[in-house]
C-alpha cells in the first residue's frame, strides 16, 4: 500500500492524472475503472489537457464505471453517463463503444448487472481502478451495511449519501434513493487501485479505512487487503497522519504495510 500525501486538490488531480496516463502509456489498450463525483473532476480535466497536448492516446482504452443512479436515463444531466461524457469522453479520442457504465434504466436490471460483470471479465479485468470515497466510507455505491455484495447490484443509498448527493439536484425529492453499483468483487479484483480523497470531510473515513481493522461498516477498509493500492490524499484528508509535534507519522497498525510518500510542499 502506498499513501501519497499532496498539498492540495490541484496536486492531487495532477498526480492522479499522471498515474492514469502512465497506465495508458504502458498498455495502450488498458482497462480502466472510473469514478464520478467531485473528487475526480480535476483529474479528468488534466487528462483532457494531456490528450490535447498529444501526450495520451485513448483510442484503444476500455473503461468501466463504478456506478449509476437507478431510474436516471443516460441523458439526464445528473446521470453518471452524462457526467462521463461531459468531463471526459467528449473531449478525448476514446471510442464510445469501449466505454461501459451500468444502466440506471433497463428492462431487466438483474440481467444487466450480470452482463456488466461478464463484460468486465471478458475484457480481462480492470488494470487500474480509480475510486473516490464517501464520507461514510463507501466505495462505488457499496454502502456501509452488515454485509457487502460481491457482484454488480442494485443498492438502497444511505441517508448520508442521499444528503451528500442532494447538492447536485434542484429539489430534494429528485435525489435518487437507489443506485446500481459494481460490487466488492470487481473492485477487489482490479489489478491496481487508486483511491483519491480531498478535504477535511473525508478525513474520518480515511482514518477508518486505514485503521488496521476491516469491517463492512466501512467498505473502503477492505482495500487494506489489496496487494496494489495507492491512496492519494491531500493534506486535509490525511489529517490523521499529522501529529502536532511530530509532523507526519504512520499509525502503528499500518507500519508494516505502508510506504508514505510526501510530495514536496505537503
Ligand atoms: P465526491 O464523492 O467525490 O463527490 O466527494 C465520492 C464518493 O461518494 O464516492
Q: Residue 19: in which H helix or E strand, if any?
A: helix 9-26
Q: Which residue in the block uniquely carries the three cell numbers 471479465?
A: 121
Cell (9 digits) for 266:
505537503
Cβ of 137 closer than 6 Å to ligand 1, yes or no, is no
- Our measurement of the distance from residue 28's CA atom to the centroid of its chain's CA atoms, rounded to an integer in Å, reads 21
136 labelled catalytic: yes
76 labelled catalytic: no
Cβ of 142 closer than 6 Å to ligand 1, yes or no, is no
Cell (9 digits) for 46:
488534466
* Nearest Cα residue to 9 out of 37, 52, 36, 40: 40
Tell me, what's the pLDDT at 45?
Answer: 98
* Nearest Cα residue to 44 out of 30, 27, 58, 31: 58
Out of 65, 98, 136, 142, the active site residue is: 136
Q: What is the pLDDT along the chain (266 residues), one digit of tens a residue?
A: 899 999 999 999 999 999 999 999 999 999 999 999 999 999 999 999 999 999 999 999 999 999 999 999 999 999 999 999 999 999 999 999 999 999 999 999 999 999 999 999 999 999 999 999 999 999 999 999 999 999 999 999 999 999 999 999 999 899 999 999 999 999 999 999 999 999 999 999 999 999 889 999 999 999 999 999 999 999 999 988 877 666 777 777 777 777 777 776 66
Tell me, what's the pLDDT at 250?
Answer: 73
* Number of neighbours of residue 130 by Cβ within 10 angstroms: 28
7 labelled catalytic: no
**CA separation for the pair 68, 236 (Å, rounded):** 28
Tell me, what's the pLDDT at 85?
Answer: 98
Cβ of 159 closer than 6 Å to ligand 1, yes or no, is no
Tell me, what's the pLDDT at 266?
Answer: 65
Contact (Cβ atoms closer than 8 angstroms) between residue 156 and residue 178 = yes
What is the SS3 assignment for 54?
coil
Amino acid at each position: 500500500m502506498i499513501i501519497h500525501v499532496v498539498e492540495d486538490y490541484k496536486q492531487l488531480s495532477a498526480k492522479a492524472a499522471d498515474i492514469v496516463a502512465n497506465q495508458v502509456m504502458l498498455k495502450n489498450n488498458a482497462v480502466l475503472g472510473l469514478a464520478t463525483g467531485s473528487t475526480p473532476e480535476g483529474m479528468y480535466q488534466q487528462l483532457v489537457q494531456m490528450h490535447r497536448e498529444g501526450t495520451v492516446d485513448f483510442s484503444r482504452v476500455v473503461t468501466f464505471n463504478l456506478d449509476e443512479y437507478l431510474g436516471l436515463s443516460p441523458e439526464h444531466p445528473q446521470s453518471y453517463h452524462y457526467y462521463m461524457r461531459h468531463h471526459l469522453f467528449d473531449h478525448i479520442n476514446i471510442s464510445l463503444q469501449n466505454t461501459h457504465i451500468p444502466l440506471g434504466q433497463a428492462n431487466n436490471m438483474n440481467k444487466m448487472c450480470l452482463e456488466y460483470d461478464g463484460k468486465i471479465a471478458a475484457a480481462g479485468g480492470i488494470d487500474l481502478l480509480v475510486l473516490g470515497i464517501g464520507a461514510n466510507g463507501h466505495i462505488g455505491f457499496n454502502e456501509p451495511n452488515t454485509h457487502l455484495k460481491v457482484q454488480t447490484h442494485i443498492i438502497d443509498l444511505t441517508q448520508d449519501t442521499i444528503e451528500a448527493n442532494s447538492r447536485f439536484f434542484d429539489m430534494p425529492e429528485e435525489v435518487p434513493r437507489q443506485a446500481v453499483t459494481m460490487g466488492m468483487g470487481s473492485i477487489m479484483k482490479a489489478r491496481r487501485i487508486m483511491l483519491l480523497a480531498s478535504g477535511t470531510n473525508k478525513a474520518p473515513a480515511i482514518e477508518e479505512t486505514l485503521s488496521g481493522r476491516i469491517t463492512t461498516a466501512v467498505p473502503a477498509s477492505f482495500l487494506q487487503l489489496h496487494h496494489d493500492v495507492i491512496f492519494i490524499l491531500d493534506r486535509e484528508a490525511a489529517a490523521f497522519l499529522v501529529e502536532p509535534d511530530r509532523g507526519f507519522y504512520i499509525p502503528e497498525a499500518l507500519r508494516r504495510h505502508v510506504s508514505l510518500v510526501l510530495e514536496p510542499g505537503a
